[in-house]
Structure 1
Amino acid sequence: MSPWAPDRSAYVGVFYEYYRAADRASATVQPEHSREIVDGSRGIPEFDVVVTKWIDPEVVLGQLVAFAGHVDYSLGLVETVGLYPPPESAPRSDEEWDALPEGSPYLEGPGIMELSAEARDMLAGVDDARLPVLAEQWAAIEEFSHFTADEDGYILSLTKDLVGLARRAREHDQQLYCWMSL
């Protein structure tokens, strides 16, 4: 297995699942469950999903979006809106945070956020001929410096998957979402 590829049984860390949905209500159906359908028996919709590890939306994916859009990277380039746990119900004081029960999604996740249409469109607009160069640029970011060389082409494959997901979302007038879990 590639050191880049997600393997939930072998590594500890944060998992990010990027997926597309028609709207926020559809995107947040059964938010406590992974968006990746393995056996189809959980009763949640089947999402078009790309499963990653360590590829957070704001920093790591944000740099891919910057390369894709030929813009300078800055924190906040990929604007996100937190959908789950519901921000309007979030604790507002230290006392409320301290009173949260063990297992609360505000403490442990999972979380769902919506990515901006601009980020989706920058990824979707990448020409196929640029994908290898884009993947090479992305593989060279500081956040990936602790990985071994990408000899098996995982970063190129992931780049193609994320760009493809963004294209399908744009084609179907959908948004991109990120489900994350520890």
Structure 2
Amino acid sequence: MGVLYDYFRAPALDEVRRLLDDTEGESPLGTFDGLDLKSLEPSVVVGQLIAAVLDQEWTMSLVADRLIWPMSAETDPEYDGPWVTVLGDHARDVLAGIPADRVPALATQWATAEEFHGHGDPSFLATVIPELSALASRAREAGESLYCWSSL
């Protein structure tokens, strides 16, 4: 069993935290605009896409995500999820700015990322990129952040 990832946009950290507290950490996709992206982890896997867009090597700082819920997870080594991180605005903006004409080449390049273990599917990723880019664009236009909910 792997980790599941849902990406969503929301106006404020407090709003996200309140919803997660009220729902005991259920995915916020029923409340906030977002995407179910299954196994596409933000820091490394989505970071590989951002690196490809920027035509540079991947580094941990590309996504600059940080834990925002639950805060107790930082100190509890036995906590096993769910978690929510907020992606850095630079990552949001890079994703929002992906031009449609670059999608096929980016999907092909992204599919070769080591994290896909040789099973990256360019045709699937070519559908994911415009969806993720559109979500990031809506977040940017609304002055919102982009978040990732994850659960085992």
The answer (yes or no) to whether the contact 1:84–1:113 under 8 Å persists in 2 is yes
TM superposition outliers: structure 1 runs of 4+ over 6 Å? none
Query: Percent of aligned pairs with the same residue?
Result: 36
| Counterpart AA for 1:115 | L
Instruction: Tell me the residue number matched to 1:84.
Output: 69
- Tell me by how many angstroms 1:181 deviates: 0.4
Report the TM-score when normalising by structure 1: 0.74
Instruction: Tell me the residue number matched to 2:2.
Output: 13
* Cα distance between partner residues in 2 of 1:111 and 1:24: 13
Q: Give 1 or 2 for the bigger CA radius of gyration.
A: 1
Q: Secondary structure at the match of 1:180?
A: strand
Instruction: Tell me the residue number matched to 2:143.
Output: 173
The answer (yes or no) to whether the contact 1:27–1:177 under 8 Å persists in 2 is no
Instruction: Tell me the residue number matched to 2:26.
Output: 33
Instruction: Tell me the residue number matched to 1:40.
Output: none
Q: Secondary structure at the match of 1:158?
A: helix
Q: Secondary structure at the match of 1:28?
A: helix
Equivalent runs, 1:120-139 vs 2, <5 Å: 120-139=92-111
Output one character per residue of 1:103-122: Cα deviation in whole Å (capped at 9) or x when no partner: xxx61111011100000111
* Cα distance between partner residues in 1 of 2:18 and 2:104: 35
| Counterpart AA for 2:38 | K
Q: Is 1:69–2:54 an aligned residue pair? A: yes
- Tell me by how many angstroms 1:51 deviates: 0.9
Output one character per residue of 1:4-23: Cα deviation in whole Å (capped at 9) or x when no partner: xxxxxxxx210011110111
- What is the total number of aligned residue pairs between the two structures? 148
The answer (yes or no) to whether the contact 1:15–1:180 under 8 Å persists in 2 is yes
**Residues 90 and 150 of structure 1: is their aligned pair in 2 closer, same or farther, counting only changes over 3 Å?**
closer
Q: CA RMSD in A?
A: 2.0
- Tell me by how many angstroms 1:90 deviates: 4.4
Q: Secondary structure at the match of 1:107?
A: coil
Q: Is 1:150–2:117 an aligned residue pair? A: no
Greater displacement, 134-143 / 115-124: 134-143
Report the TM-score when normalising by structure 2: 0.88
Output one character per residue of 1:18-74: Cα deviation in whole Å (capped at 9) or x when no partner: 11011111222332111222xxxxxxxx21111122211111010111112233211
The structure where helix makes up a greater share of residues is 2
Q: Which runs of 5+ in 2 are unaligned?
A: none
Q: Secondary structure at the match of 2:139?
A: helix
Name which of 8, 12, 15 aligns with 1:23. Answer: 12
| Counterpart AA for 1:125 | G
* Cα distance between partner residues in 2 of 1:131 and 1:112: 27
